[in-house]
Amino acid sequence: MKLFSLLLLAALSAPATTFYVTISGLGGEPDYEQRFKMWAEDIDSSLKRAGGDSNVVTLQAPTREQIRARFAEIAKQAKPADALVVMLIGHGTFDGVDYKFNIPGPDITGAELGALLDRVPATRQMVVNMTSSSGGSIEALRRPTRVVIAATKTGTEKNATVFARYWAEALRDPAADVDKNEAISALEAFHYAQHKTSDFYDSQKRLATEHSVLEDTGKGEGERVPSTENGEGKLAAAFPVVRLGANAAAARDPAKRPLLEKKEQLEQAIDKLKYEKAAMPADGYKRQLTLLLLELARTQEAIEK
């Protein structure tokens, strides 16, 4: 029962605010400028439509100083219980040592981005780097409590990417919600965008020049297929990015928002319990799972009233 109590306590401690920062960089030519701007606005629209206690900011081709200023503001506002989601759209470069995100004026490095995120007190963080060469940023960005998604598996995949197009689509397509809990997790959005990107290259009969990966242990290089075997995906599966349907409606209702947050944390506790099933006695696992499922059902009923 002690483990269940700890899980339930975690389930009742919901993040207060999610800070979303979407940044589109330089396109270099009109076609890319338009694409990057459109994808960023698509993401912005989905996040604002989902409602809830969130802080949504989208920066179009900002300078390094403007990026620093925005993160400094978040660092002052955020609390440890909050969450931070950063999404980068555009071109990136990698010289074998440093990753750089292309913006007006001096580019910003992966190491500097990592340092800016480290200063934000929010303990639950995610970075979705959708630029070319984004795999080269993983080492600088990864942390034990941070989900890192990159459009390319290494810094040497230098061609322009389309992953951002399908990540934006994932945040507004109910089909991305595979478990039908009316919330799209980081892992669900990753799988959706990854499959759509692969289909794009197949349909164009082109050799794929980008291979997206996910890292959420703080020590890996990123995996194409996160699983219990390689240890990747656990944190991403429990990280809701956007809400849909009834959950989005509840997020906009101050009276129901605490119930929604409780529901999401209970779902995360259940996912954690399932992940640890192999190391637990069978009867203990079943007992704790039953208790969590009952509490989840009661919470869902209260939301629907």
Q: Mapping DSSP to helix (H, G, I), strand (E, B) and coil, where does residue 76 land? A: helix
In the predicted model, is pLDDT for residue 298 greater than 50?
Answer: yes
Query: Which residue type occupies 245?
Result: G
* Cα–Cα distance for residue pair 185/210, rounded to 1 Å: 22
In the predicted model, is pLDDT for residue 182 greater than 60?
Answer: yes
Residue 229's pLDDT is: 85
Q: Which residues contact 223 (CB under 8 A, 6 or more apart)?
A: 213, 214, 215, 230, 232, 233
| pLDDT tens sequence across 92-144 | 999 999 999 999 999 999 999 999 999 999 999 999 999 999 999 999 999 99
Rounded to an integer, the average pLDDT of 290-304 is 87
| pLDDT tens sequence across 7-45 | 444 433 444 799 999 999 999 999 999 999 999 999 999
Residues of the chain with pLDDT > 90, as a percent, come to 70
Rounded to an integer, the average pLDDT of 155-160 is 97
Q: Mapping DSSP to helix (H, G, I), strand (E, B) and coil, where does residue 212 land? A: coil
Q: Which residues contact 133 (CB under 8 A, 6 or more apart)?
A: 92, 93, 94, 99, 152, 155, 156, 157, 158
Rounded to an integer, the average pLDDT of 166-190 is 95
